[in-house]
Amino acid sequence: MSNTLFDKVWDGHVVKKIKGGPDVLFIDRHMIHEVTSPVAFLGLKSRGIKVLYPELTFATADHNTPTINQHLPVEDPLSANQLKALESNSNEYGISHWGLGHQKNGIVHVVGPEYGITQPGATIVCGDSHTSTHGAFGAIAFGIGTSEVEMVLATQCIMQPKPQKMRINITGDLGFGVTPKDVALFIISKLSTSGATGYFVEYAGKVFEEMTMEGRMTVCNLSIEMGARGGMIAPDETTFEYVKGREFTPKGEAWDKALAYYKTLKTDDDAVFDKEYTFAGSEIEPMITYGTNPGMGIGISQDIPDADAIEGGVATYEKSLNYMGFNQGDHMIGKPVDYVFIGSCTNGRIEDFRAFASIVKGRHKADNVTAWLVPGSHIVEAAIKDEGLLDIFTEAGFVLRQPGCSACLAMNDDKIPAGKYAVSTSNRNFEGRQGPGSRTLLASPLVAAAAAVTGKVTDPRELMEELVS
């Protein structure tokens, strides 16, 4: 029988099928952070249960961590408590803990792949919706709630109804200045934020085959923003090359065996999906959002659509534009920008900082812009320095901060003030997401860089040197 990539990985992890109910799945890797794990550990303690396989769980602190002066004690008492709880729980149960200041510390979805915790064909969970990121490796990776975190700690299994299957194909090539972030924002703008609810998505086609692992992670990261349980891409040579030799990946003979398994992980030619979409890469231009959900995105050269061209309630649409201080029919290009944030588990990897540098090189930060450059991990931070990007940033008037989630959801001090506009490379533009009253325009690192040097929404293609005629 022909199977999809998703079926192959899922079926290979079913421990028990419950008739008419969910499947019990074995979980290969469990990542935890300080926000969603404390209550799960309290639950374990109150029931006197141990962590079944502590060696399969990895803890990192990211949401509540400051991005400057990380060597100093954390001032905010709530954040300090959560960070302490993660540390003491990890120590008590024998779980690897990469806390603030640890050399391996960083955003959970950035460090997992960097250290080879993320592997093709694995099942990976974390109490965090953007766990979908790890699907870039051909893993089944999804976010879980705190009570499920407790379940996985106790049993290394989870009960899950099997989602339906969707495939999204992007054919052909991407245009100049179009990045993986634009591909993802384009798909969400077409499908809406609920368009993939109940589905697990496979991304397929030439555009994804030619994408780097960093790009694939950006796309899979945003799967959750169209309601999908997760997204995945079949592993190939690009994947194997990325994974090989990392700290937690198999070595020697075990690698050969693992590689043979990884190579089986693709959708059979005649496998059937419950839903399928196909778009041409050439349809996509650099994207930007204008509203308060990630589906409210348009090509940067387009105008804000009229309410009657949008599915859903007119009142909600108007409320959203009102919050943003925008009107139907407005041009996005030229809108003033106060803040620029490059970072997060969506676009906080080295390739993103290279893209940002390619535009700011030889230019200067606009005076009206406050820019926060936040690497996703210490590995990214070190690469920024080693590759000479820090020099480019410094000359252009930018400062590099230390790793963490930062202004992506502003649980630390990195908050965008009320009413201010931020071009942000993160994944959510909800009301108040980046600080109470903040207004977020989601975009790629290229669009963020163009805004940072011009002080307004600018088409990055105008600033890119090798403009093809």
Ligand X SMILES: CC(C)[C@H](C(=O)O)[C@@H](O)C(=O)O
381: contact with ligand SF4 by CB under 6 A: no
Report if residue 63 touches ligand SF4, rule: CB under 6 A: yes
Give residues 85-124 in contact with ligand SF4 (rule: CB under 6 A). 107, 109
Cα(438)–Cα(449) distance, integer angstroms? 19
The one segment of 116-124, 255-263, 289-297, 401-409 that binds ligand SF4 by CB under 6 A: 401-409
Of the pair 321, 408, the CB lying nearest ligand SF4 is at 408
User: Taking CB under 6 A as the rule, does residue 35 contact ligand X?
Assistant: yes
| Binding test (CB under 6 A) with ligand SF4, winner from 27, 298, 345, 443 | 345
Q: Which does 344 bind (CB under 5 to 8 A by kind): ligand SF4, ligand X, none?
A: ligand SF4
Applying CB under 6 A, which part among 76-84, 94-102, 147-155, 403-411 lies near ligand SF4? 403-411
143: partner contacted, choices ligand SF4, ligand X, none (Cβ within 5-8 A by kind): ligand X
Stretch that binds ligand SF4, among 1-9, 143-151, 315-323, 402-410 (CB under 6 A): 402-410
Q: Which of 61, 234, 408, 447 binds ligand SF4 (CB under 6 A)?
A: 408
* Footprint (CB under 6 A) of ligand X, residues 94-153: 128-130, 143
Q: Residue 311, class by beta-carbon neighbours within 10 Å (0-12 exposed, 13-18 middle, 19+ buried)? A: exposed
Nearest-angstrom CA–CA distance, 321 and 318: 5
345 annotated to bind ligand: yes
408 is in an annotated binding site: yes
Residues in the chain: 469
Both tokens of residue 36?
């969603």
Kindly state the tokens that stand for 245.
């030799």
Chain centroid, CA 47 distance in Å: 34
Q: Is 405 annotated as a binding residue?
A: yes
Q: To 5 degrees, how large is the angle CA 453–CA 459–CA 463?
A: 55
- Residue 401 is a binding residue for ligand SF4 (CB under 6 A): no
Interacting residues with ligand X between 217 and 236 (CB under 6 A): none
Q: Which of 226, 355, 409, 451 binds ligand X (CB under 6 A)?
A: 409
Q: Which residues have C-beta within 8 Å of that of residue 257, sequence separation ≥ 6?
A: 250
Burial class (CB in 10 A: 0-12, 13-18, 19+), 147: exposed
* Residue 278 burial (10 A CB sphere; 0-12, 13-18, 19+): exposed
Closer to ligand SF4 at the Cβ: 36 or 156?
36
* 44, 51, 107, 129, 155 from 150: Cα distances, Å: 7, 9, 21, 16, 9
Residues 6+ apart with CB under 8 A from 89: 37, 38, 41, 59, 95
- Total number of residues that touch ligand SF4 (CB under 6 A): 13
Smallest separation (angstroms) from ligand SF4 to the CB of 14: 28
Determine the Cα–Cα distance for residues 64 and 67; give it in Å rounded to an integer: 9
Q: Does 226 bind ligand SF4 (CB under 6 A)?
A: no
Residues near ligand SF4 (CB under 6 A): 62-63, 107, 109, 128, 130, 344-345, 405, 408-409, 426-427
Annotated binding site for [4Fe-4S] cluster: 345, 405, 408
